[in-house]
Structure 1
Amino acid sequence: MTKFLLAVHVLAAVITIGPVTVAASMFPSTARRALAEPGSPAPRAEVRTLHRICRVYAVIAVVVPVFGLATAHSLHVLGSPWLLTSIALTAAAAAVLGILVLPRQSAAVAVLDGTAAPGKADAALQAVGRLGMHTGLFNLLWATVTVLMIVRPGSTTGA
């Protein structure tokens, strides 16, 4: 059962977190290009698509920690410091995505669609400038979790 749980955990991580990471990374430059070309529909469609990928896959990615915790329980490592650190970093990555990245993406999409509240457009444009930094933080958190999952300090596997 442990191998099954681990396989689902790893597959879920690759299939769900990978697209969010890539789409979130592409969003800031695509949004800046779309804002620079207000009449062009192609960059606006790309921005909407990237935002939708981030939103949908962020929700689906909940299965990653669920199967991760089930795997950790099966391996009897729930109290291991590397796992507790990974859990904290995963929560931090989710918070960065949910509090910093997705709302700023939504604001940029609203500006591009012309549905932004009056007076909010300038703030949304400034937020796009900081979005790359927030996305980089999100990616760094996930990269750290990935390294911890591979290296597992104190692991008894000898790897």
Structure 2
Amino acid sequence: MTKLLLSVHVLAAILAIGPIAVAASLFPRYARQSAPGGENRGSGGSGGNTDGRDAGADGRAAGIAAFLHRVCRGYAVVGVVVPVFGIATAVQLDVLTDAWLIVSLVLTAIAAGILALAILPQQERLLELPADTADEGSGSAAAQTGPAAARLSALTGVFNLLWAIVVVLMIVRPGSTTGA
């Protein structure tokens, strides 16, 4: 039973947290590009052109950003199984009170909090920003999007770093007889 629980835990971590890490990391780039007057690499012109060349690039970037947000939101729900099966595995292995596991659980809770309370809401705000500020001039939305996207990138970096630490703790398991 322990091997089954551990297998589901590891597979869930790879299949749920991995896509969140990638999608959340890519999101700020496309949010910046989708803002009116924002970065439009590969569109054939500079941001803010009114000849229609950038409208397609803005729309495509906005669509990609929206898709990445849906990936983050959807996989966040599925990601709940990671700590559930992790705790079940820890109970089977009788390591629920080990320091490395407690630290892992605390870091997991912090990462989940960052995702639910900061990353996902900030992504939603960035998705809504271009539509809310488009009538104020294209520079306004781009000016607001840039710093917000930079903050989101930093939050995503912290989220990913926390998960990397948890993975190392799960592999090394300090103090265990199988640890390094």
TM score, norm. by length of structure 2: 0.81
Distance 2:114 2:19 in 1: 16
Asked whether the equivalents of residues 119 and 156 of structure 2 are also in contact (C-alpha less than 8 Å), the reply is yes
| Contact 2:171 2:179 (C-alpha < 8 Å) held by counterparts | no
Query: For residues 1-159 of structure 1, what are the structure 2 equivalents within 5 Å?
Result: 1-35=1-35, 36=38, 37=40, 39=55, 40-112=58-130, 114-115=131-132, 125=145, 126-157=147-178
Task: Give the TM-score, by structure 1 length.
Answer: 0.91
Matches of 2:165 and 2:14 in 1, distance apart? Answer: 15
Letter in 2 for 1:131: L
Q: Is the contact between residue 90 and residue 96 of structure 2 (CA under 8 Å) also seen in structure 1?
A: yes
Given that 2:173 and 2:179 are in contact with CA atoms closer than 8 Å, whether structure 1 keeps it comes out as no
Q: What residue identity is the alignment partner of 2:176? A: S
Identical aligned pairs, as a percentage? Answer: 53
The residue type equivalent to 2:106 in the other structure is: A
1:93-147 CA distance string (max 9 Å, x none): 00111111111000011123x257x99x689623222111000000000000000
- Quote the Cα distance in structure 2 between the aligned partners of 1:107 and 1:12: 28
Distance 2:127 2:90 in 1: 39
* 1:5 partner SS: helix
* Count of aligned pairs between the two proteins: 157
Contact 2:32 2:142 in 1 (8 A): no
CA distance in 2, matches of 1:155, 1:8: 22
Deviation by residue 1:41-67 (Cα, 9 ceiling, x = unmatched): 110110000000000000110000000
Structure 1 residue 34 displacement after superposition = 1.5
Higher-Rg structure is: 2
Check the 8 A contact 1:25/1:135 in 2, yes or no: yes
Which stretches of structure 1, 4 residues or more, deviate above 6 A after TM superposition?
Answer: none
The CA RMSD measured in Å over matched residues stands at: 2.2
Partner letter of residue 154 of structure 1? G
Counterpart code for 2:10: V
User: Residue type of the partner of 1:31?
Assistant: A
Q: CA deviation at 1:158?
A: 5.1
Q: Which amino acid aligns with 2:76?
A: A
- What are structure 1's unaligned runs of at least 5 residues? none
